[in-house]
Amino acid sequence: MFAGFSMFAIAIVVLVILTLMMGVRQVPQGYNYTVERFGKYNSTLQPGLALIMPWIDRVGRKINMMEQVLDVPSQEVITKDNATVTVDGVVFFQVLDAARASYEVSNLEIALLNLIMTNIRTVMGSMDLDMLLSHRDEINVRLLGVVDQAVEPWGVKATRIEIKDIVPPRDLVESMGRQMKAEREKRANILEAEGLRQAEILRAEGRKQSVVLDAEGRKEAAFRDAEARERSAQAEAEATRMVSEAIASGDLAALNYFVAEKYVRALDGFAKAPNQKTFILPMDLAGIAGSIGGIAEIAKSALGEAAADDTRRQRAVPGQQAQAQARPPARPPVPPPSGPWGGNSPTGA
């Protein structure tokens, strides 16, 4: 009888220990346990030690409450412009409600992956290939908004969705490479043309400044020449006025000096002409003698010699006789020389 009592006591102790063990649960950090009573959800156990009703309650699901990451398998997507690309991605999510994540969806990860893959085809299928390759941020934002709204009833928060790779077909990659090369060559040609244009503009500006400066120089030179001619004309006019006054006062020496100066300048111009090869003096020696007599008269008048008039008359008479003797009888009369005196020299007047 004692042996039977001992066995019963041992059974009772084992049952008590087993009951205690079934009623105490330790939940690790980052996890939540659901408690089911008679197969129905009753409560959620937080991290740490927790007590449940042994034999009545049991732990249903052990839910990871930390942020998790899932790789989205690669799939082919047809874009709006009928280009086929291969796309894969990654999704980050976190369970916020363990009960809904356990009992609202059968398999959370599979459901989440299928939801993301279908939305990738929907979002990327509505875009052209160029937009698909250059607007990844927009694709990520649109996918995150759609998926996060869809998984909210499951007690899950989609924190981030990223498209990892977009792989176009090989022929499209080669075409894009040629397009990129052509675009770069176009930009290089545009930059080169802009440089040539700028250089031409600078050269034109330089030529313009040169022409302006040259014109200003010619203008200044013309102004100086005009001023010199004006002063020369003023001097000439003053000389002419003085000669006129001298003639009006009866001084013929001033007129002779003026005419002799013009005559000498004319001969000097003939002699210095670039096309002048031969210089012919007039054959009428009386005209030359008259010119010499006029110059002598000017000199005598300037020196104040009183006997200059007698000498001039004495030289003038033999000159006229020599002119008469030098003319042949049968020849017609010789016209007067084309000198500045018109054939009537001051000495022969």
Q: Which residues pair with 57 in a beta bridge?
A: 37
As a whole number, mean pLDDT of residues 218-234 equals: 84
Read out DSSP for 278-337?
A: -----S-HHHHHHHHHHHHHHHHHHHT-TTHHHHHHHHHHHHHHHHHHHS-SSSPPPPPP
Among 17-31, 66-80, 309-323, 330-344, whose mean pLDDT is lowest?
330-344
Query: What is the model's pLDDT at position 220?
Result: 86
What is the pLDDT, as a whole number, of residue 298? 53
Q: Tokens 């080669």 belong to which residue?
A: 174
Count of residues making up the chain: 349
| Residue among 196, 180, 165 nearest 87 (CA) | 165
d(CA 139, CA 215): 67
Q: How far apart are CA 268 and CA 279, in angstroms?
A: 11
Q: Where are the alpha helices (DSSP H) in the chain?
A: 2-23, 98-103, 108-125, 129-134, 136-151, 170-248, 252-272, 285-303, 308-326
Average pLDDT, the chain: 78
Q: In 10 A of CB 283, how many CB atoms?
A: 10
Find where tokens 């999704």 sit.
Answer: 91
The stretch 34-47 carries a mean pLDDT of 91
Distance CA 20, CA 12 (A): 12
Residues of the chain with CATH 3.30.479.30: 68-174
- What was the pLDDT predicted at 274? 65
Give the SS3 label for residue 75: strand
**Which CATH architecture group holds 68-174?**
2-Layer Sandwich (3.30)
